[in-house]
Structure 1
Amino acid sequence: MDKAEFDSFADEYLSMHARNISASGEGPAFFAEYKIRDIAEEMTRRRTLPTRMLDFGSGVGTSIPWVNHYLPNAQLTCADVSERSLELAQSRFPDSSRFVHFDGHTLPFEPGEFDLAYAMCVFHHIDHAEHVHLLRELKRVVGPRGTVVVFEHNPLNPLTVKAVNTCEFDVNAKLISARNMERACRDAGFSAVDVRFRIFFPHRLARLRPLEKYLTRVPLGAQYAVYANAA
């Protein structure tokens, strides 16, 4: 999806997203929250809580309140190709973050400007031929000690595939297997890459979700996360 397509969907993004994931029994906030909570828990475990974070492909700012909640000491920068999405994010959460437009090719940031960068289900909208280049850009802006976290839909999960195939703003999306995303990270120069599968139970089975921490290596979750480090 290019800038014009993202701009055209920006105003209706949240309502379309909510309709599209209704079968899960959860809303967009649930999926944004779990990702930031996962990052906060993992970086706490590593004893390297980030203070300068980049939301790559931030859209209308769905992650902002959760960064404020789980990582209150972090300064967040939101970057996106869609200027309309950034406008909406800033209007929803004024003075909460820095909002930066980028051209889809080169991130307008200095090397090592961030401790951590994350992308929430962004790369399936990007031509696969561009993945390694953009991962290298993310690696550049987090520096040799930073972390890049990529969340993506799992094409091995049939409910995920159905949701993507019926979503208006995913019409040009091409899902990425966890194996291919791991390979792209390694091709981009990351030497430590860890893949974890997430979201196995819908809302009606939410009481089973505490078991998910034992299932992160089972490649059937609705989504997966890749934690990538240069060393």
Structure 2
Amino acid sequence: MTYGYCRISTKQQSIERQIRNIKAAYPDAEIIEEAFTGTKIERPAFDDMINSAKELKDSGEDVTIVFDSVSRMSRNAEDGYNLYQDLYNRGINLVFLKEHHIDTDTYKGAMRNQLAMTGEDTDLIFQGINAYLLRLAAKQIKLAFEQAQKEVDDLHQRTKEGIQTAKLNGKQIGQKQGAKLTTQKSVAAKKFILKNSRTFNGSLDDKECIEYLKIAPNTFYKYKKELRAEQQ
């Protein structure tokens, strides 16, 4: 089974380029599309794909996941590297069209190309060389994810500077006071609260809801207030 994961940060962006690149290299890939930022936890299509890939691999099927670039997998260096290692250890193949040097096949090559032991004193040297080669391969993977995260950090910094400049020039930034913002995340959270919170005849208390949704308490209570108002 071959998956091709394509992600854009907003639904206004075009995802066609990623699909075209993956299909050119893997015509039979099942394309998974998503419009979420790579620094956010909530990526339901991605999570479903990963879970399906693990189940298929556990059943004995070969599984490959193809990304146009490493940033499509994750823009958080630590999370991306940990997920890479988890999938690699499970035997799931990862392919990055723009960074083939960190494909899992490349990493496997570093493992296979270790120097053979001879039973002589020189084995101490060989062991050191093998350990160095493996650490070098792992470092290349980490660097790729760190670079993806740096791109996000740089973008956030440029955005922050742009907002500061706009404010100094007297421009309106963000919503006007009293305006209500509706996002896909807020809709999903409010739906969960309405169904599960004890306030609305569910079974979970406030703390349990907050922990499940992974949102700030202030945000949670704001959603509850809005839900009460909507029911009046």
TM-score per shorter chain, which class? under 0.3
With the length of structure 1 as denominator, give the TM-score of the two structures: 0.28
* Larger RCO, structures 1/2 (Cα 8 Å, 6+ apart): 1
Compare CA radii of gyration and give the structure with the larger one.
Answer: 2
Bigger strand fraction: 1
More helix by share: 2
